[in-house]
Structure 1
Amino acid sequence: MEQMATFARATLTDLPAIVAIYNQNIAGHMVTADLAPVTVVERRPWFEAYSDAYPLWVLKDEIAVIGWVGLEPFYGRAAYAHTAEISLYIDQDQTHHGFGQASLDFVQTQLPRLRINTLLAYVFSHNLPSAKLFAKNGFETWGHLPDVAVLDKQLRSLDILGRHYL
């Protein structure tokens, strides 16, 4: 049975939970290219870069933040204003409860208001759970960058997954 969660714009008080969830994923070398945990202080400029045009949301259950999803500008040029990069992280204790799917469903409802019609996701090729989630939601591989990262002393490839929402 899927659990219920609500989405809300992230506030500065959510940043410690956002960072904690992000840091959970570093050791596994499947989700992020960071190799060491980050701090709240280090992530504050990243957090403050989110805006009304490219928001950051948290997923909350009845008790706490259990995940986050954010949209960031792609490439920073005006012609790409309707394209965004999506980042999605779920607390490791909350995976396999449908929160990833719920996050993509929620973001899709926000795209018309944000005037975003293309989403890109950067997913390591060996991150099969994320690749499967995005593929299930109509994302296709638009790019493959072979052996561009070294994670746990292994070369890893990065896929650029994309979907148009026209």
Structure 2
Amino acid sequence: MMETLTVRHATLEDTESILRIYNQGIEDRIATLETETKDSSYMEAWFHDHQGRFSVLVAEKEGKVIGWASLNPYSHRCAYKGVADLSVYIDRNYRGQGVGSTLLDALEKAAKEQEFYKIVLFTFPFNQGGQGLYQKMGYRQVGVFEKQGVMDGELIDVMIMEKLLSAESKSVNL
């Protein structure tokens, strides 16, 4: 019997798995403008910066971490306190199997608990898998930054997407 997918808050012990999956995203050139793989000291520092409001969740199957998602600061300006950026990375052997949807759903719930009202993300226009996930989860395209970054000597466009988590009120008390 296949074990079901479990999503939980990441612990420091998960950073090696998070690092492995993040480095796959760097190597595959579909999810980040980073081109140099990272090491464990980088990932441990990153993890320590993602405490409190900026949750990191992992997806586990049969005891193995196969994906992760995080809420990241969008801006340090107080006017954007309710807006989070997100990251979602799935082990290349498990992409397209619903892991991203499960993680993103749990991350949105965590974001609401931390009083975020909006999530934004940046993706590549050529990342069809990522865009399919985000569109399915209700994110909308806001626009495209043309030639926003450089990867492997090429100028790369970056698409901006967003989702409002709470549409009940136009006023917020953060």
Same fold, TM-score > 0.5, yes or no: yes
SS in 1 for 2:27: coil
Q: What residue number does 1:73 align with? A: 73
Output the CA distance in 1 between the equivalents of 2:130 and 2:70: 15
Once the two structures are superposed, the pairs formed by residues 96-135 of structure 1 within 5 Å of their partners are 96-135=96-135
- Given the superposition, is the C-alpha separation of residues 62 and 51 from structure 1 closer, same or farther in structure 2, using an over 3 Å criterion? same
Q: Judging changes above 3 Å, is the alpha-carbon distance between structure 1 residues 108 and 3 closer, same or farther for their aligned structure 2 residues?
A: farther
Residues in 2 aligned to 1:160 and 1:3: alpha-carbon distance in whole angstroms: 35
The TM-score with structure 1 as length reference comes to: 0.92
> Residue type matched to 2:155 in 1?
L
Q: Counterpart of 2:43 in 1: which secondary structure?
A: helix
The alpha carbon displacement at 1:22 in A equals 0.5
Tell me how far 1:43 sits from its aligned partner: 2.1
Q: Alpha-carbon deviation of 1:101? A: 0.9
Structure 2 runs not aligned, ≥5 long: 167-174
C-alpha contact 1:122 1:159 (8 A) present in aligned 2: yes
Q: Return the alpha-carbon distance in structure 1 between the equivalents of residues 153 and 133 of structure 2.
A: 27
Unaligned runs of 5+ in 1: none
Question: Post-superposition shift, 1:53?
Answer: 1.1
Identity over aligned residues, as a percent?
27
Query: Shift in Å at residue 52 of structure 1?
Result: 2.1
Give the ranges of 4+ consecutive aligned residues of structure 1 lying more than 3 Å apart after TM superposition: none
Q: What is the aligned partner in structure 2 of residue 62 from structure 1?
A: 62
In structure 2, the residue corresponding to 1:75 is in which secondary structure?
A: coil
